[in-house]
Amino acid sequence: MHFITRFAPSPTGYLHLGHARSALLCAARATAEGGVMLLRLEDIDRTRCRPDYAEAILEDLTWLGLNWPQPVRRQSEHQADYDAALARLAQQGLVYPCFCSRSAFHARLPAIGPDGPVYDGFCRPLSLAEREARLAAGHDHCLRLDHKAAMALAGPLEWLDERTGTEFARPEFLGDVVLAGRENGTSYHLSVTVDDGLQGITHVIRGEDLFHATHIHRLLQAVLGLATPVYHHHPLIIDPATGGKLSKRDGSTALRHLREQGLAPADIARMAGTGMAPTPGG
Ligand code: GLU
């Protein structure tokens, strides 16, 4: 298979028009390339993901006329893959425990990056003895990527975005990202990079709100020995009420709400700005 893309929603709410845009673009492109679109449920956040949202996602996408090969990869079933990647990063000295509470970190007035406050590396210089003592005492912590050490190991990196051309990786946009959280054994950045690699994804098509994340994903690919897909970050549908991206909290653009209003899949495709209504079974 030469072309493998994926649609990777998180079951933390109902799909809305913004998701429809991503899913329809992925599916149309897979069809045009004679390839395949996989569906992946990014359900690692134990506090926010719900099984009923996961079921609703499958139902909404089927109603839209999309299909995908089985099995659907559910991230919550693959912690062993993320543990193995974490161990590989740790062996290379690229992981450190961070004991900072959110409030302590924010009180230090960190720099604000494209995704919010960028961790200032406060816990990075802790000695091994200090780390071990705090871990042994059961102090709350997450695990972070030492992005500078990873960059030193990987050297200069590039990736191709179909809309913006060759991008030089700038992992410092997001800095020492979390690899495993306090409550979850993996993070979005780690699991998405591992999965794209393990599933042989050749093209990642997703919203441009994730553009900066790709800089970190490229670095993780390099230090985990994973292939780099081609990327396509498409424009988002802007919420006229807020001027920002559509939110799962505002149900008015939820696909199931629009369906209840009597709209058809072709209307959704038009409203999602793709104009590409998939043909059932196609
Ligand atoms: N799970 C992410 C989301 O729902 C998308 C991840 C990706 O496409 O890389 O926002």
User: Of all atoms in ligand 1, which is nearest to the CA of residue 206?
Assistant: 8
Residues with Cβ within 8 Å of 55's Cβ and at least 6 positions away in sequence, in order, are: none
Angle between helices 147-154 and 211-224 (to 10 degrees): 60
Identify any residues that bridge with 244 across adjacent strands, giving them in sequence order: none
User: Rounded to the nearest whole angstrom, what is the distance from the C-alpha of residue 196 to the centroid of ligand 1?
Assistant: 11
Residue 228 · residue 264 · CB < 8 Å: no
User: Rounded to the nearest whole angstrom, what is the distance from the C-alpha of residue 146 to the centroid of ligand 1?
Assistant: 23
Residue 210 · residue 20 · CB < 8 Å: no
The confidence score (pLDDT) of residue 44 equals 96
Instruction: Name the residue with the closest Cα to ligand 1, atom 4.
Output: 9
Q: Kind and range of the H or E element at 266?
A: helix 265-271
**Rounded Cα–Cα distance for residues 117 and 178 (Å):** 12
Q: Which residue has 């089927």 as its token pair?
A: 62
CATH superfamily membership of 4-94+144-177+186-274? HUPs (3.40.50.620)
Instruction: Give the predicted TM-score (pTM) of the model.
Output: 0.95
Instruction: Name the residue with the closest Cα to ligand 1, atom 7.
Output: 8
Q: Report the SS3 class of residue 41.
A: strand
Q: Which residue has 């449920």 as its token pair?
A: 41
Residue 150 · residue 94 · CB < 8 Å: yes
Q: How far does Cα 84 stand from its chain's mean position?
A: 19
Q: Which two tokens stand for residue 124?
A: 């990075």
Instruction: Report domain extents, the chain.
Output: 4-94+144-177+186-274
Residue 73 · residue 101 · CB < 8 Å: no
The confidence score (pLDDT) of residue 277 equals 62
Among 165, 228, 162, smallest CA distance to 29 is for 162
Whether the CB of 192 sits within 6 Å of ligand 1:
yes
Task: Calculate the alpha carbon distances from 42 to 52, 142, 147, 151 in Å.
Answer: 14, 20, 24, 27
Going residue by residue through the chain, which has 282 residues, state the pLDDT in tens, using 9 for 90 and above.
599 999 999 999 999 999 999 999 999 999 999 999 999 999 999 899 999 999 999 999 999 999 999 999 999 999 999 999 999 999 999 999 999 999 999 999 999 999 999 999 999 999 999 999 999 999 999 999 999 999 999 999 999 999 999 999 999 999 999 999 988 999 999 999 999 999 999 999 999 999 999 999 999 999 999 999 999 999 999 888 888 888 888 888 999 999 999 999 999 999 998 776 665 444
Active site residues: 248
Q: 179: which DSSP letter?
A: E
> Do the bridges between strand 73-74 and strand 36-41 make them parallel or antiparallel, or are there none, so unpaired?
parallel
- Write b or e for each residue in 184-223: b if 16 or more Cβ atoms lie within 10 A of its Cβ, otherwise e: bbbbbbbbbbbbbbeeebbbbbbbbebbbbbbbbbbbbbb
Neighbours of 248 (CB within 10 A): 18
**Rounded Cα–Cα distance for residues 149 and 268 (Å):** 46
Whether the CB of 13 sits within 6 Å of ligand 1:
no
**Rounded Cα–Cα distance for residues 77 and 158 (Å):** 31
The confidence score (pLDDT) of residue 278 equals 62
User: Of all atoms in ligand 1, which is nearest to the CA of residue 19?
Assistant: 4
